[in-house]
Amino acid sequence: MQAKLKNILGLVALGVALLTTTVPTWAGQVITGGEVSIYIGSDHSSAGGTMVGARYSADNKQYIECTTYLSTTIWVPLIQCYAQDKAGQHILCSSRDPKFQETLQAMTDSSYISFQADSKGACTDIGISHGSNLLK
Amino acid sequence: MKTNLKKFIGTAVLGVALFSHSILAWAGAVSLPEVVVDEVYRVAHGSTAGARYSPDDQQYIGCSVDNPFVTCFAKDKAGKYLFCSSTDPRSLAVVKAITDFSSIDFASDPGTSSCTALIVTNDSTYLR
């Protein structure tokens, strides 16, 4: 009888443990995927992906990043964005337009980032989106 | 004996099920650079997450803003410390981009300790 009770308590504990690890996965709307995608064309290229999608993807290739620079001694771009997809394709754009630097100030750990580059690698557009459904 | 085997298999399955949650959480490219301070060249580099979650309790890196003053500072695990300061409005624009998944690089002028370079990179691989 005591052994049966122990078994039941064990099963209950197991059930609770499994339930608590599963519940957060299904609460609220979550955009799955969000992995880095890259388009490379003859006159322009573009990339997009979420920070979470890239970071927690199944592969260890993809990532997306943006950098802001200041140098008082050498020429540097104001900003630069770089993305690599799971196949290893990558694109880069850079710019000295202050409006893009301001855009990058909106980056968070749950952002969706997209950018476009012309054929010379200059950024023509950078977009950053936030939403509860982009959180991990 | 058969019951024991069943229990063993059950425990193993449970272990794999629980462990697989953790595996998914840690997949993907990741890089958490710790703080490095070079006192000779007066440059510092490190990531916010790499410093915060390093095994030691010494290192940190960051920047503070008291408009128009920007100060960036770093200490590595060996205790080497460096800072730079700036009133250049462009440095404020750079520092505003710092998040909890940034890497920060700065260079400090040997005479004045003013920031001669300041670089902030936000990268998905710097997410913990």
Q: Do A72 and B115 touch (CB under 8 A)?
A: yes
* DSSP code of residue A119: T
At B75, is the secondary structure helix, strand, or coil?
strand
- Tell me if A94 sits within 8 A of A79, measured CB to CB: yes
pLDDT, block means (10 residues), chain A with 136 residues? 67 60 64 90 96 94 97 94 97 97 95 97 97 85
pTM greater than 0.90 (yes/no)? no
State the sign of the Cα–Cα–Cα–Cα dihedral A27, A32, A36, A41.
negative
Q: Which of A57, A62, A70 sits opposite B88 (nearest CB)?
A: A70
Give the best residue of A7, A18, A32, A55 to mutate against chain B (max B CB count within 10 A).
Answer: A55
DSSP annotation of A88 reads S
Of A55, A104, A105, the CB nearest to B28: A55
Distance from CA of B18 to the nearest CA of A (A): 8
Interface of chain B against chain A, CB under 8 Å?
14, 17-18, 21, 24-25, 27-30, 86, 88, 90-91, 93-94, 96-97, 99-101, 114-125, 127
Give tens-digit pLDDT for B40-86: 999 999 999 999 999 999 999 999 999 999 999 999 999 999 999 99
